[in-house]
Amino acid sequence: MTRNFSTQAVHAGEEKRKPYGALTTPIVQTSTYTFENTSEILDFMRSKAAGNAEVRDEYGRYSNPTLSAAERKIAALEGGERAVLFASGMCAITTALLTLLSGGDHLVLVSGVYRRTHEFAIDFLSRWGIETTLAPIDDPDALAAAIRPNTRMIFSETPTNPYLRVMDLARMVEIARQHDVVTMIDSTFATPINLRPLEHGLDLVIHSATKYLGGHNDLLAGAVIGFTEVMDKIEKARGVLGGISNPNDSYLLLRGLKTLDLRVRRQNENGMRVAQFLEQHPGVRRVHYPGLPSHPDHEVARRQMAGFGGVVSFEIEGDLEETGRFIDRLRLPYIGPTLGGVESIVEQPAVLFSLEPDEWRGAGLKDSLVRYALGVEDGEDLIADLDQALGNRVFS
C-alpha cells in the first residue's frame, strides 16, 4: 500500500471486494453474532485462545466489522500497528489511563492538556492512589525533574487548546526513555496529516475522532493508536469497561476519513491566511498560531509538523463584553465548543468555561480570547467576514 496520505485515507483498512458488492463498507447493525453449530463455536474458541488476529466477531461490545475497518484505516494513517476505537475521545483517554496505570503509580501531565483530561487525572485517578504532577510544556528540565521512581507515563497534547502550544516530541521521548516511561500524546489538533507522533518515537497517540477525523460534526468517537502488545491490553479493557463505538458512528467515521487529507490541507491554508491577516489588524492584540514566527513554539512546530492546523486563537482589543459582540457580528461561523469540521465554528473560551471570572482567569483564559476553528470555506470569504466584524468596533 502506498504511503501517500490521500490514497491511504480512501483505501486503507477496507477490503477491495466488500459484502454484496457494495462500494462502501456496510453498517453491520447487530449486537451479537451467531454460530452455525457447536463445532464452529469450538473452532472459534481455539482460534481465540491461540491469539489469531483474524478471529471472527463474537459480540458487539468487543468488535464489529464496520468498526474494525475504521480502526485499520486510522492505524494506517498514523503508522501504528493497531488502533482501538471508542465511543468518545474522553473514553479513549480514560480507558488507556486506567489500563496502563495502577495504584501507587505516578503520572506526569504536561500543562495545556484538555481540561477534562486534567480533571480525570486529578479528581478520579487519585481515588485509586495514582498521583499526578503537572509539568510545563516549554521547559524540558522541569519535565525531567517531575519524573519520580514510580512514574509510569508522560501524557501531553500538541498543539494544546486554546493557545496552540507545541510539545517538542524529541525531547519528550528522550526524557521518557532515560527513565523507562511510557509516552502518550493527544494529537487531535494536529491530525495524522500534519503530525505522526509514532514516527517521533511516541508510544501511544490519542484522537478525539469527533473532530478532524470525522470532519462533519455528526459523530462521537475516540481512538488510541500504538503497537500491538499494549493495544491488546487496551482493547481488552474496552471490552470490560464497555466504551466501544457503535457501527453507525464507525460508518460515518470511515466516510469522513476518506476526505481527511483534502480537508486538513484546506484548513491548514485557511489557518495560515487568517492568522496572518489577524496579526496585521489593528483591532487584534495578539494571535496564537504555531505557523507564525511570533508564536513561542514556531521553530518546534516548523521542525516536526507538515502543517499548522485550522485553529487560530487570538485576543481582540476589547473586554469580555466587546469580545462577545465581535463574535456575534461574525456571519459565517457557527458559535459552539467544537472544531475540525467542514463548517467554521467560533467560541469565546472564557464564557464557555465558567460564569465565574476567577475560574476562567485562573485557568489562563483571557476575557478577550477567541478560538476560531476554520472550516473548508473560501479563505477570502472568511477574512472578509472577520474584517467586517472587527471593523465595526470603535477603537479607543
Active site residues: 61, 114, 186, 211
Q: CB–CB of 365/315 below 8 Å?
A: no
User: Please, are residues 294 and 300 in contact by the beta-carbon 8 Å criterion?
Assistant: no
Residue 387: exposed, middle, or buried by beta-carbon count in 10 A (0-12, 13-18, 19+)? middle
165: cell is 502550544
Nearest to 74 by CA among 90, 62, 89: 89
Question: Are the C-beta atoms of residues 179 and 151 closer than 8 Å to each other?
Answer: yes
The three cell numbers locating residue 172: 519528550
- Nearest of 329, 335, 367, 364 to residue 351 by alpha carbon: 367
Closest by Cα among 172, 231, 166, 158 to 201: 172
- Rounded to an integer, what distance in angstroms lies between the CA atom of residue 381 and that of residue 154? 41
Yes or no: say if 311 and 290 are a contact pair by the CB < 8 Å rule.
no
Instruction: Quote the cell numbers at residue 322.
Output: 466587546
